[in-house]
Structure 1
Amino acid sequence: MTVATQSTAMPTAGQHGLVAHSDGPVVPVQTRSERFRSVDVADFAPVTGREHEWKLSPVAAFADLTSGELDGARLDLETAGAEGVAVEWIARDDARIGTAGTPEERASANAWTNFGEALLIRVTGEDEKIATVTRTGLGATPRAAHTVIEAAPNSRGLVVLGGTGSARLSENVEVIVGEGANLTVVSVQEWDDDAVHLASHFARIGRDAKLKHIVVSLGGKVVRVNPSTHLAEQGGDVEALGLYFSDAGQHLEQQVYVHHDAPNTRSRVTYKGALQGEGARSVWIGDVLIGNAAVGTDSYEQNRNLVLSDGTRADSIPNLEIETGDIAGAGHASATGRFDDEQLFYLMARGITEEEARRLVVRGFLTEIVQQIGVAELEERLTAALEAELQGA
């Protein structure tokens, strides 16, 4: 068990106008990296919805995943592998488990406490290769899962981790990118309308290694995928991309964290989403921490949301912490809005109907992310899925 403690001492009474909080003498965590961590669910208090990590989430919809006992048996998988990619189950005590990160909230810790074996996807070899692992047929039983994706030093590959059908799943995914490796991980959520999926992704990037991490969330009632990337060694690079389309009554959430912890590291975070229908909801929180040892950092994060109808809500919160002044650059941006009237006018002036013009604008807005996957077959499938969503819009 790994636990990060934090100070609970209050400043001198009345200092700078500070007074004790009604909940007790607790100083809020000031730095993202100082949050409490543990792999044991018992170390976390029950979820109330008032916690900073849960205050924008519909916690009542998944209380069984945060507090109840979870089935940690092996999940049903459909795999399509390639030479240089090994897929196997490993024991809980495997040395690789816990290498990339540790839970910061109760759902992640509950999954860690309850999983039986972990799924290992190991990429080796310097040639390009693609492997697909799809979880399906999980049913209504609350489940726990743990996956380790390991890219050997100087290896190259792309791993697609998908989900279809019904599910009530809480999982942790660890991504270990070895020195000089170049890995792409695509997490595709195409669950049924009743599914609930809570996922914490932890990535550790080695020296001069690169990770492209892509989250695509289209299906499910509540989907919460939180990627956390640790640029732990010099020259590490991460490109974190996300695409989501929230329909009526659907909650799609992603809390992204990038920790620059070594010199000359680079990160680019781009998440784009669309919302349509009464009660459609999206949440994006982007945290970037540039540590005091991360000189030469080059970082930028952005989130864009396109609102297609009334009755929707998009929360977009970028955060940037910088502990050293010797950086190449850092910035963040966030925007939520409706259609660009000039774009619609331009298309309609050329004989395109308003309905088709709107679909073209949305398609162009979202497919920017899809086109960066780099696999034609997967890009075509996701484009078709977006077309189906747009037909409903």
Structure 2
Amino acid sequence: MAATSTASEQAQAARTENDHAHLDPAAQLVSGAYQRGEYDAPVQTRSERPHSFEPADFGEPTGREVNWKHTPVARVRPLFAVAEGGQGGDGVQYAISDERFVLPPLAAGTAPRGEVFRPEDLVSAVAWQGSTQALHLRVPQGEELAAPLTVSITGSDAHARADAHLVIEAEANSQATVVLEHTGSAQYAQNVEIIVREGARLTVVSVQDWDGDAVHVAAHQAVVHKDASLRHFVVSFGGDLVRVNPNVRLAGAGSHADVYGVGFCDAGQHLESQVFVHHEGPSTRADVLYKTALQGTDAHTVWIGDVLIGRDAVDTDSYEANRNLALTPGTHADSIPNLEIEIGDIRGAGHASATGRFDDEQLFYLQARGISEAEARRLVVLGFLSEVIQRIGIPKLETELIAHIEAELADEITAAPVGVTA
């Protein structure tokens, strides 16, 4: 009998070991449960994801993990280790339009660095460790910036590695727009930590206009305090692989966020955003809208929208939407909205997702008025993407982005799209 019991225990131990071998490495961090043999299932929701400042705690992604399964991991692998040489590597150069708002760089453990940011995947932990000195931008209390504060980030070449941590801080009752412009080529791991103090109004625009061989993986994490607002834009055109994941905590009563994205994805390109909006405080509001046009074989976009309405977030109003327009055959769009609600006393919450080809009725309407098919298609795409671009509120930048879309459309295959997958 004893021998039978021992064999059974050994079999169970083997099954347990085999099960754990297939767990998301990030899930194994939760409260040390995996190490104690108490963890039963991988993390499924965004709010449960673990955090660590140590890259080794996450393990290297395989593509089976919930937050990596839509990403071509092999193309991201150069960012799985801290960059060598210099402070965070020497792969990019920075230029700032107004040095008055640049404070001394922040080492790890120096406030306000780390006030908000907690790495939730391997690349963000690598960027934290690799960036020994974080760029710190601060808008003083009560000050209103008339012109955008622009940070130009230029990559030197496709094989150059760089890690970065940026802290953008809007003090109480201030108002400003910060634009991050990414150009050139690099393998770039980036963290952006955004702090919006009480009553402040901050707009952050991240423009990815890289060369076609760049790899850029970024985690943006923000906290919005009482009666403050954040407008956050992700604009992605260039790059081989661009993954920018915004995470916004509406912590203060009456805070709100507009979280917007727009992109044009070409053949073989991968554009991705995993958005997380956490309603913590009462009477908070959020509006999420991402739009992307896809053109060319193996153009691939990923949008995952997670919204959590916490147990203290009474009188909350939240909505998220993702729209994808496929212009040619062979494109692929993954669109996954998720909503968690922990309280019943809310004003409203909803989500929507749609992926499809041109609206035949729109094309017919325009062609019936003497407009050529190519021009009709151009007008439809511009109208589709301009809804987000026109919300940026910087005329010069909006004009440049519209011109970029026009250039992309000049290469468009004008045949009617078929074989669209979503």
Flag whether TM exceeds 0.5 (same fold): yes
> Quick one: which amino acid aligns to residue 97 of structure 2?
A
What secondary structure is seen at the aligned counterpart in 2 of 1:137? strand
Alignment partner of 1:375 is 2:394: yes
Higher helix share: 2
| Alpha-carbon contact 2:241-2:269 (below 8 Å) kept | yes
Q: How does 1:214-293 map to 2 (within 5 A)?
A: 214-293=233-312
Structure 2: runs of 5 or more not aligned:
1-27, 413-422
What secondary structure is seen at the aligned counterpart in 2 of 1:295? coil
CA RMSD of aligned residues (A): 1.9
What secondary structure is seen at the aligned counterpart in 1 of 2:377? helix
Matched residue count? 377
Work out which of the residue numbers 136, 150, 156 in structure 2 matches 1:120: 136
1:197-226: CA deviations, max 9, x gaps?
000000011111000000000000000000
| Alpha-carbon contact 1:195-1:220 (below 8 Å) kept | yes
What secondary structure is seen at the aligned counterpart in 1 of 2:365? helix
Work out which of the residue numbers 205, 208, 212 in structure 2 matches 1:186: 205
Task: Please give the alpha-carbon distance, in whole angstroms, between the structure 1 residues aligned to 2:94 and 2:411.
Answer: 30
What secondary structure is seen at the aligned counterpart in 2 of 1:319? strand
Task: Please give the alpha-carbon distance, in whole angstroms, between the structure 2 residues aligned to 1:203 and 1:42.
Answer: 25
Identity of aligned residues (%): 54
Alignment partner of 1:91 is 2:107: yes
Task: Please give the alpha-carbon distance, in whole angstroms, between the structure 2 residues aligned to 1:389 and 1:105.
Answer: 33
How far apart are 1:73 and its partner, in Å? 4.3
Q: How does 1:144-155 map to 2 (within 5 A)?
A: 144-155=163-174
What secondary structure is seen at the aligned counterpart in 2 of 1:141? strand
Report the counterpart of residue 20 of structure 1 in structure 2.
Answer: none
Task: Please give the alpha-carbon distance, in whole angstroms, between the structure 2 residues aligned to 1:295 and 1:213.
Answer: 24
Task: Please give the alpha-carbon distance, in whole angstroms, between the structure 1 residues aligned to 2:281 and 2:133.
Answer: 32
Report the counterpart of residue 12 of structure 1 in structure 2.
Answer: none
What secondary structure is seen at the aligned counterpart in 2 of 1:320? strand
Q: How does 1:66-85 map to 2 (within 5 A)?
A: 66-67=80-81, 69-71=83-85, 72-73=88-89, 75-81=92-98, 85=101
Report the counterpart of residue 382 of structure 2 in structure 1.
Answer: 363
Work out which of the residue numbers 149, 154, 159 in structure 2 matches 1:136: 154
Task: Please give the alpha-carbon distance, in whole angstroms, between the structure 2 residues aligned to 1:180 and 1:148.
Answer: 19
How far apart are 1:6 and its partner, in Å? 4.4
Task: Please give the alpha-carbon distance, in whole angstroms, between the structure 2 residues aligned to 1:188 and 1:132.
Answer: 11
1:64/1:244 CA distance change after superposition, 3 Å = same
| Alpha-carbon contact 1:234-1:265 (below 8 Å) kept | yes
How far apart are 1:30 and its partner, in Å? 5.0
> Quick one: which amino acid aligns to residue 58 of structure 1?
P
What secondary structure is seen at the aligned counterpart in 1 of 2:375? helix
1:340/1:327 CA distance change after superposition, 3 Å = same
| Alpha-carbon contact 2:108-2:114 (below 8 Å) kept | no
TM-score normalised by length of structure 2: 0.86
1:360/1:88 CA distance change after superposition, 3 Å = farther
1:123-179: CA deviations, max 9, x gaps?
124324311001113322221000000001000000001100011000100000000
Report the counterpart of residue 79 of structure 2 in structure 1.
Answer: 65
Q: Which has the larger radius of gyration?
A: 2
Work out which of the residue numbers 176, 199, 202 in structure 1 matches 2:195: 176
1:94-117: CA deviations, max 9, x gaps?
211111221111111111111121
> Quick one: which amino acid aligns to residue 47 of structure 2?
S
Task: Please give the alpha-carbon distance, in whole angstroms, between the structure 2 residues aligned to 1:82 and 1:378.
Answer: 21
Task: Please give the alpha-carbon distance, in whole angstroms, between the structure 2 residues aligned to 1:143 and 1:182.
Answer: 30
What secondary structure is seen at the aligned counterpart in 2 of 1:216? strand
Structure 1: runs of 5 or more not aligned:
10-22
1:362/1:151 CA distance change after superposition, 3 Å = same
Alignment partner of 1:28 is 2:47: no
| Alpha-carbon contact 2:52-2:118 (below 8 Å) kept | yes
Report the counterpart of residue 345 of structure 1 in structure 2.
Answer: 364
